[in-house]
C-alpha cells in the first residue's frame, strides 16, 4: 500500500449547498488527523471515501480503488471490504447483544457467519468488552457503546479505518482509553487511520499527519512539524532571581512579554536583529538567572486557528 488515498478536485454539492470545494489530496499510509470545525465537510469526505456517496465532480482513488459510481456498484463493495468505518452517531441495533451486533457487521462486510462470530469474540475481548458481549447493546454505557462501534469497524480486519469523532461525549478517562486503542491499531497492527475530529488534542495523541479542512476546503496538509511556523522572533524563558528588573530591562530594549505564568516562565517576542546572547547580557546586568531558553514555535492550536481564519 504505497498510497492511502489520492483525490483530485473532488467537489460535493447538495442542491445549492457545496459541502466540499475542489479537494485535492495525496496521502501515504499512516495515522492521519482530519481536523476541522463542525460543518467543515469532514463527514461528507468520509462518506465519499467509503463509496457511500459519489463526488459531484472530480476523481479519486482509495487503496487503488476508484471513487464514484453507484453506491451499490461492485467497485464500491470491494472498497468497503477494505475500510472499517466508525460513525459519530450511535449506529447500534437495539435488541442485539454486543456479540450479535459485531458478528452482524462482519457478515455485512462479506464474512461467512462462523468466521464473523469468531472474529467478534476476538475483537470484543481485545477492546475490553468480553464480559459484556452477551448483554444487549442498549444497556451499554457510552464508553462501551463507543468501543462496540470500534469493534464492528475492525471485525473484518480492514487495512484502513475511518473514525468519525471517536471520542465524542466521553469523559477524560474514556477518551484517553479510546485514543490509546486507536493508536495501538496503527502502531501494533499496521492499520492506516483517518481520524475525523474537531479536537486538537486527539490529533496530537494519535496522528502522524494532519489535514485541516474548513468551509469544505483543504487549508493545510502535512506533518504538524511541517505545517507549524518556525518563529524566529518568539521564545520561552524560565527565569530565577531578579525577574522584575530583568523584565523591565527587556521591555526597555523592545522585547514584548506575551505571557507570564507567575512562576518565572515567560513567552516573549523579540525585535528584529535580536540574538539569544542579548538575553544573557541583560540577565547578567540584573542578577537574574536564565534557567531555560527555547524557541517558541507555533502550536497545533495556533496552526488550526491560522488555517481556519486565514
Contact 219, 24 (CB under 8 A): no
User: pTM of the prediction?
Assistant: 0.83
90 pLDDT above the threshold of 90: no
Confidence of residue 73 (pLDDT cuts 50, 70, 90): low
Residue 99 to residues 17, 205, 217, 287, Cα–Cα distance (Å): 40, 29, 40, 68
199 pLDDT above the threshold of 60: yes
Distant-in-sequence, close-in-space partners of 252: CB < 8 Å, separation ≥ 6:
none
2 pLDDT above the threshold of 80: no
Predicted confidence (pLDDT) per residue in 143-192, tens digit = 999 999 999 999 999 999 999 999 998 999 999 999 999 999 999 999 99
Contact 25, 294 (CB under 8 A): no
Identify the residue with better confidence: 74 or 296.
Answer: 296
Phi-psi region of 45 (alpha: psi -120 to 50; beta: other; left: phi over 0): alpha
Identify the residue with better confidence: 79 or 226.
Answer: 226
Confidence of residue 252 (pLDDT cuts 50, 70, 90): very high
Confidence of residue 74 (pLDDT cuts 50, 70, 90): low
95 pLDDT above the threshold of 90: yes
Give me the residue label for grid cell 462479506. 110
Q: How much is the pLDDT for 310?
A: 67
Q: How much is the pLDDT for 163?
A: 96
Q: How much is the pLDDT for 299?
A: 86
Best CA proximity match to 20, nearest among 71, 50, 54, 52: 54
Give me the residue label for grid cell 459531484. 56
Confidence of residue 69 (pLDDT cuts 50, 70, 90): low
1 pLDDT above the threshold of 60: no
Identify the residue with better confidence: 51 or 19.
Answer: 19
Predicted confidence (pLDDT) per residue in 259-276, tens digit = 999 888 999 999 999 999
Q: How much is the pLDDT for 196?
A: 95
Residue 122 to residues 7, 77, 94, 237, Cα–Cα distance (Å): 35, 24, 22, 51
Three-state secondary structure of the chain: CCCCEEEEEEEEEECCEEEEEEEEEEECCCEEEEECCCCCCHHHHHHHHHCCCCCCEEEEEECCEECCCCCCCHHHHHHHHHEEEECCCCCCCCCCEHHHHHHHHHHHCCCCHHHHHHHHHHHHHHCCCHHHCCCEHHHCCHHHHHHHHHHHHHCCCCCEEEEECCCCCCCHHHHHHHHHHHHHHHHCCCCEEEEEECCHHHHHHHCCEEEEEECCEEEEEEEHHHHCCCCCCEEEEEEEECHHHHHHHHHHCCCEEEEECCCCEEEEECCCCCCHHHHHHHHHHHCEEEEEEEECCCCHHHHHHHHHHC
242 pLDDT above the threshold of 60: yes
Mean pLDDT of the chain: 92
67 pLDDT above the threshold of 90: no
Q: What is the distance in angstroms between the CA of the first residue and the CA of the last residue of the chain?
A: 34
Confidence of residue 66 (pLDDT cuts 50, 70, 90): confident
Over range 49-77, report the average pLDDT.
80
Contact 30, 206 (CB under 8 A): no
CA distance 273 to 287: 24
CA distance 285 to 272: 22
Confidence of residue 50 (pLDDT cuts 50, 70, 90): confident
What are the chain's domains?
5-227 (3.40.50.300), 234-301 (3.30.70.260)
**Where is average pLDDT lowest: 65-69, 173-177, 184-188, 195-199?**
65-69
Q: How much is the pLDDT for 81?
A: 84
Amino acid at each position: 500500500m504505497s498510497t492511502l488515498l489520492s483525490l483530485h478536485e473532488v467537489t460535493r454539492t447538495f442542491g445549492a449547498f457545496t459541502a466540499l470545494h475542489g479537494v485535492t489530496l495525496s496521502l501515504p499510509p499512516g495515522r492521519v488527523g482530519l481536523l476541522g470545525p463542525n460543518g467543515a465537510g469532514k463527514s461528507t469526505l468520509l462518506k465519499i471515501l467509503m463509496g457511500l456517496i459519489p463526488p459531484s465532480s472530480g476523481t479519486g482513488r482509495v487503496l487503488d480503488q476508484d471513487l464514484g459510481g453507484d453506491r451499490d456498484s461492485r467497485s464500491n463493495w470491494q472498497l468497503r471490504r477494505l475500510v472499517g468505518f466508525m460513525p459519530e452517531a450511535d449506529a447500534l441495533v437495539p435488541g442485539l447483544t454486543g456479540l450479535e451486533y459485531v458478528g452482524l457487521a462482519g457478515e455485512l462486510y462479506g464474512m461467512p457467519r462462523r468466521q464473523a462470530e469468531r472474529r467478534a469474540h476476538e475483537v470484543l475481548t481485545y477492546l475490553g468488552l468480553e464480559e459484556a458481549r452477551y448483554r444487549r447493546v442498549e444497556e451499554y454505557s457510552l464508553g462501551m457503546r463507543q468501543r462496540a462501534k470500534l469493534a464492528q469497524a475492525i471485525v473484518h480486519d480492514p487495512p484502513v479505518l475511518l473514525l468519525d469523532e471517536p471520542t465524542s461525549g466521553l469523559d477524560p478517562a474514556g477518551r484517553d482509553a479510546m485514543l490509546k486503542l486507536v493508536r495501538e491499531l496503527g502502531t501494533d497492527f499496521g492499520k492506516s487511520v483517518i481520524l475525523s475530529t474537531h479536537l486538537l488534542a486527539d490529533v496530537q495523541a494519535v496522528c502522524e499527519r494532519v489535514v485541516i479542512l474548513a468551509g469544505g476546503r483543504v487549508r493545510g496538509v502535512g506533518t504538524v512539524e511541517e505545517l507549524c511556523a518556525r518563529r524566529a522572533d518568539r521564545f520561552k524563558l524560565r527565569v530565577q532571581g531578579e525577574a522584575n528588573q530583568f523584565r523591565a530591562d527587556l521591555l526597555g530594549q523592545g522585547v514584548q512579554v506575551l505571557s507570564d505564568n507567575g512562576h518565572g516562565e515567560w513567552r516573549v517576542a523579540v525585535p528584529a536583529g535580536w540574538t539569544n546572547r542579548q538575553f544573557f547580557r541583560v540577565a547578567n546586568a540584573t542578577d537574574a538567572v536564565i534557567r531555560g531558553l527555547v524557541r517558541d514555535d507555533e502550536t497545533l492550536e495556533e496552526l488550526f486557528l491560522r488555517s481556519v481564519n486565514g
